Amino acid sequence: MEALLRKILHEVKATRTAAESLKRRVGALEGQVAQLNERTSALETQVAQLNERTSALETQVAQLNERTTALETQVAQLNERASALEQQFAQLKERTTTPEQRIDLLYKRTAETKAVAEALRHGQEGLTANYEAMANDLHQMKGDLTHVTSIREDKVLPALAEHEAGLHVLNARVFKTESILHHLVHA
């Protein structure tokens, strides 16, 4: 009988030691999970910010597209005006023969064409810079999400599986102890 009680006491101590060990491991795992949750929240915040920036950039792109369309319309109008000016120039050339008048007319036409071309180039450069910045941000965000997913799969999931196996062992010991105590009580 004494040997049986010692065996029970030994099983209870082993179970307590295993439970304390599992409790420490669970605490450590909960800490890791909390850290991963914080990092995930930070990444989600970054994703939300990038989504906002992307929306703003898309709005800017739409506005630039509208401006480009307007500028293209102006270019078409200027081309029409240039054609009309060329016709007028031909008529003036027929009427006048002074080189100064021809140079003035060509200078005005050249200045208008330069202004339109410069406006189009400036709009295109701004749009290109916005697209490049957005692509860099999205690439960095993808790398961060891949890293967090890798950590979760490599560390947290195996640790949780090991913890679950430890709980099964502990439950088996508790059941065994209860069986022995039940046997002692009814013996």
State the pLDDT at residue 38: 92
Give which of 168, 182, 68 is closest to 120, Cα–Cα: 68
Assess whether pLDDT exceeds 80 at residue 152. Answer: no
Is-contact 134 54, C-beta < 8 A? yes
- Count of C-beta atoms within a 10 Å radius of residue 143: 10
Assess whether pLDDT exceeds 70 at residue 96. Answer: no
Residue 133 backbone zone (phi > 0: left; psi -120 to 50: alpha; other: beta) = alpha
**Of all residues in the chain, what percent carry a pLDDT higher than 90?**
10
What average pLDDT score do residues 86-104 get?
Answer: 73
Express each pLDDT in 54-91 by its tens digit. Answer: 899 899 988 988 988 988 898 888 888 888 888 887 77
Express each pLDDT in 116-137 by its tens digit. Answer: 888 888 878 877 887 788 878 8
Assess whether pLDDT exceeds 80 at residue 92. Answer: no
CA distances from 143 to 45, 132, 140 (A): 15, 17, 5
187: confidence class by pLDDT, cuts 50, 70, 90: low
Is-contact 53 134, C-beta < 8 A? yes
> Looking at beta carbons, which pairs linking 128-134 to residues 24 or more positions away fall under 8 Å?
130/57, 130/60, 130/61, 131/57, 131/61, 133/57, 134/53, 134/54, 134/57
CA 1, CA 180: separation in Å to the nearest integer? 12
104: confidence class by pLDDT, cuts 50, 70, 90: confident
Structure tokens at 145: 């999400």
Structure tokens at 49: 């910010």
Query: Can you give the pTM of this predicted structure?
Result: 0.36
Q: Domains of the chain, with CATH numbers? A: 2-186 (1.10.287)
State the pLDDT at residue 52: 92
